[in-house]
Amino acid sequence: MLDLKLIRENPDTYKAKIESKLDDPKKIDQILELDVRRRTLIGEVETLKATRNTVTNDIAQKKKNKENADSLIAEMKTVSDRIKELDTELSEAENKINEILLYTPNIPHDSVPVGKSAADNVEVRRWETGTFTKEFKPLDHIELGKKCGILDFERGAKISGSGFPVYVGKGAALERALINFFLDTHTANHGYKEIFPPFVVNEESMKGTGQLPKFAEDMYTIQADGLYLIPTAEVPITNLHRNETFKAEELTVKYCGYSACFRREAGSYGKDTKGFLRVHQFNKVELVKFANPVGSYNELENMVNDVENILKALKVPYRILLLCTGDLSFNAAKCYDIEVWSPAENKYLEASSCSNFQDFQARRANIRFKPDANSKPEYVHTLNGSGLATSRLMVSLLENNQNADGSITIPEVLRHYTRFDVIEPA
């Protein structure tokens, strides 16, 4: 959520920034109009409340002296009625402002390139060691999965629906190995504290991180209990500190956590439907940071490096993109996508995005810190990144490590976890 005061002070900047994010700058005008109305109403109603408060004291005094206060009471009755009316109008105006703000995206950081679509994203760097150079035509991950008997999309569709893959045998073990490898690396080498969060959260949490109200149709819901299946561990982990205030010296707080992720992917039917490319349930280890605004952009760069270390260790070719304003997600002020190479698709697949949300989520979720003992609390900056999602990484991993006979070589760093070196065709 954006800061109403800052909007009031710099309306033109905000309009331009919103427009660069391909959203409607008229929202800013609407907010400002409602804000004027709101402040007028506040002036009126608070004046009335002030008189009521003094007269009410007079009434109390008269009653104490056994004097008659009937006329004052009658007078205050009409004042109170008017107050009630104005309060209603006021809360209507405030609700409207809030509603618009909840649907208004974060504004991009100045270092974000202006652009209209994914085509305008800027490639920052590339790491190609391990690119597929073998002498045969690579199979795609679906064919490999079938050949080796490690992935079962058909039975997944039978028991749950399409987009719910089943991992079998060494496939399941490999999935588990990846998750453990990510968590161990981030906790042991990168200084994150591990969290194993609930996979289901309440509405407040979904609002706090910005999934609600705008993206309600993307969530799986548990209607009877008013709960939501999480689309990412970002939601429970960021909300751990909802309505809390950090001490400055506690920052940066760094968490990593595994969760299954549930996404309805409403409206994206027919797009990337093959195998793992777009699924309703997948596994992810998420990185979350609560940072002092002063250093938050350094923390973003560090987070990208943390993810890169994993890919380098796995010897998966990848590239880093800096997203342009038009491709930036609703919550983000700046975002890097990390894409892994799929030799069978002959393209890069998004496997991670690392974002700085600045105070956008912190304002919604009321997460603050005290710069020093005597100062007023300020909002922290929240950051998060996938470190990593297993499904698209699995695509790259299987395809890049396949051999001519259809077997798949396990990257060395994972063998300690899998306790096998190779997956043979079934």
Partner RNA sequence: GGAAAAGUGGCAGAGUGGUUGAUCGCGACGGUCUCGAAAACCGUUUUACCAGUAAUGGUAACGGGGGUUCGAAUCCCCCCUUUUCCGCCA
Peptide bond into 388 cis (omega under 30): yes
- Of 235, 12, 212, whose CA–CA distance to 107 is shortest? 12
Is the CB of residue 415 less than 8 Å from the CB of residue 179? no
CB of 369 to RNA, least distance (A): 13
Shortest separation between residue 237's beta carbon and RNA, angstroms: 19
Q: How far is the CB of 110 from RNA (least distance, A)?
A: 25
Contact 390, 175 (CB under 8 A): yes
- At 181, give phi and psi (nearest 5°): -60, -45
Name which of 45 and 324 has its Cβ closer to RNA: 45
SS (H, E, C) 48-103: HHHHHHHHHHHHHHHHHCCCCCHHHHHHHHHHHHHHHHHHHHHHHHHHHHHHHHHC
The C-alpha atoms of residue 395 and residue 145 are separated, in whole angstroms, by: 10
Cβ 9 to RNA, closest distance in Å? 11
* DSSP state for residue 402 in the 8-state scheme: B
Which residues does the annotation mark as catalytic? 263, 278, 350, 353, 392
What percentage of the chain's residues is helix, strand, coil (to nearest 5)?
45, 20, 35
3-state SS of 105-129 is CCCCCCCCCCCCCHHHCEEEEEECC
In the bound complex, what is the minimum distance in angstroms from residue 42's beta carbon to RNA?
5
Based on CB atoms, which residue is closest to RNA, 78 or 346?
78
Nearer to RNA, 47 or 273 (CB): 47
CB atoms under 10 Å from CB of 49, counted, come to 14
Q: Min. distance of Cβ 35 from RNA in angstroms?
A: 7
Output 31 or 76, the one with its CB closest to RNA: 76
Q: Tell the smallest beta-carbon distance from residue 25 to RNA (Å).
A: 22
What are the DSSP E strand ranges found in 141-237? 151-152, 166-167, 193-195, 200-202, 221-222, 227-229
Nearer to RNA, 59 or 248 (CB): 59
Q: Which is nearer to RNA, 88 or 298 (CB)?
A: 88
- Output the six-digit token pair for 32: 């400002």
Q: Name the residue among 165, 168, 178 with its Cα closest to residue 274.
A: 165
Give the Cα separation of 2 and 28 in Å (integer): 11
Nearer to RNA, 82 or 319 (CB): 82
Residues at the contact surface with RNA, assessed by CB under 7 A: 5, 39, 42-43, 46-47, 49-50, 52-57, 59-60, 63, 73, 76-77, 79-80, 91, 373-374, 376-377
SS3 256: strand
